[in-house]
Structure 1
Amino acid sequence: MVGGSSWRAAVAEMREAVRALLSVLEPEQVRELRAGPGRLDAPGLREWTYLPGPRPGLSTEGLGVRQREAVDALLAAAHSAPGAELARGAIEVERYRRARAGATGADRYWVRLLGDPDGDGPWGWRMNGHHLAVHVVITAAGMRVTPHFVGAEPARLPDGPQAGRRLLGAEEDSARTLVTDLDAGRRAKALFSAAPPDDILTRTDPFADPDLLPAGLPHGDMTPGQQRSLESLVRRYFDRAPAAYAEECWSDTVAGGLHALSFSWAGGLAPGDRHYYCVRAPDFLIEYDNTQDDGNHAHSVWRHVRHDWGADLLRAHYTDEHG
Structure 2
Amino acid sequence: MSAHDVHVMRQAVLRFLGSLDTERRAAATAAFGSPERTEWSYLPGPRPGLPLVAMTSRQQELALALLETGCGVAGARAARGVIELERVRRRLVTGVEEIDGDRYWFRVFGEPGGVDPWAWRVNGHHLAVHITVVGDSIAVTPSFLGAEPAMVPSGPQRGQRLLVDEEEMGRALLAELAPHQRSIAITSEVAADDILTRNDPVADLDRIPRGLSYAEMSTPSKDLLERLVRRYFDRAPGWYGQTCWRDALDAGLDKATFAWTGSDRRGQGHYYCVAGPTFLLEYDNTQDDANHIHSVWRDLRNDWGGDLLARHYADHH
Q: Shorter chain as normaliser: what TM range?
A: over 0.9
Among all aligned residue pairs of Structure 1 and Structure 2, give the percentage whose two residues are the same amino acid.
Answer: 49
Paired residue for 1:37, among 8, 16, 31? 31
> Residue by residue, what CA displacement relative to the aligned partner does 1:139-187 show, whole Å, maximum 9, x if unpaired?
1152100000000111111122321111011110001011011111000
Q: Secondary structure at the match of 2:153?
A: coil
What's the TM-score, normalizing by structure 2?
A: 0.96
2: CA distance, partners of 1:149 / 1:162: 23
- Residue equivalent to 2:5: 10
Alpha-carbon separation, structure 2, partners of 1:203 and 1:291: 15
Is structure 2 residue 193 aligned with structure 1 residue 198?
yes
Unaligned runs of 5+ in 2: none
Matched position secondary structure for 1:197: coil
Residue 82 of structure 1: CA displacement? 1.1
- SS of 1:292 mapped into structure 2: coil
- Counterpart secondary structure, 1:226: helix
Q: 1: distance between equivalents of 2:2 and 2:278?
A: 20
Structure 2 matches for 1:107-256, cutoff 5 A? 107-140=102-135, 142-256=137-251
The gaps in structure 1 that reach 5 residues or longer are 1-5
Distance in 1 (CA, whole Å) between partners of 2:166 and 2:313 is 37
Structure 1 residues 202 and 70: CA distance shift in structure 2, 3 A: same
Query: Where do residues 30-109 of structure 1 align in structure 2 (5 Å cutoff)?
Result: 30-34=25-29, 36-39=30-33, 42-102=34-94, 104=98, 105-109=100-104
Q: Distance in 2 between matches of 1:309 and 1:113?
A: 13
Amino acid paired to 2:220? G
The one-character-per-residue Cα deviations of 1:82-132 (angstroms, maximum 9, x if unpaired) are 111100011011111112222722300110101111111101100000000
Deviations 1:209-260 (A, max 9, x none): 2221111100010000100000000000001100001000000111111101
The partner residue of 2:316 within 306, 311, 321 is 321
Match of 1:3 in 2: none
How far did residue 43 of structure 1 move? Answer: 4.2
What is residue 263 of structure 2 aligned with on the other side?
268
Number of residues of Structure 1 aligned to a counterpart in Structure 2: 314
| SS of equivalent to 2:71 | coil
2:3 partner SS: helix
Specify the SS of the correspondent of 1:301: strand
Going from structure 1 to structure 2, the CA distance change for 1:267 and 1:7 (only over 3 Å counts) comes to farther
Distance 1:38 1:232, change over 3 A: closer
Secondary structure of the corresponding residue to residue 20 of structure 1? helix
Distance (Å, rounded) in 2 between the aligned partners of 1:247 and 1:233: 14
Checking the alignment, whether the CA contact within 8 Å between 2:141 and 2:299 is kept in structure 1 is: yes
Q: Deviations over 1:246-297 (max 9, x none)?
A: 0000001111111011101111112222110000112210000000111011
Partners of 2:218 and 2:2 lie apart in 1 by: 34
> 1:304 corresponds to which residue?
299
Secondary structure of 1:150's counterpart equals: strand
Q: Report the 3-state secondary structure (helix = DSSP H, G, I; strand = E; otherwise coil) of the residue aligned with 1:162.
A: coil
Could you tell me which amino acid in structure 2 is paired with residue 8 of structure 1? A
1:27 to 22, 40, 43: 22
CA RMSD of aligned residues (A): 1.4
The AA in structure 1 aligned to 2:31 is P
Structure 1: which amino acid aligns with 2:207?
A: L
SS for the counterpart of 1:101 is: helix
Query: Aligned partners of 1:277, 1:106: CA distance in 2, in Å?
Result: 31
- Partner Cα distance (1:76, 1:100) in 2: 29
Deviations 1:295-317 (A, max 9, x none): 01100000011201111211222
Would the aligned equivalents of 2:258 and 2:273 in 1 still touch at CA under 8 Å?
A: yes
Larger CA deviation: 68-77 vs 99-108: 99-108
Q: Normalization by structure 1: what TM-score?
A: 0.94
Alpha-carbon separation, structure 1, partners of 2:255 and 2:149: 34
1:295 aligns with 2:290: yes
SS in 2 for 1:146: coil
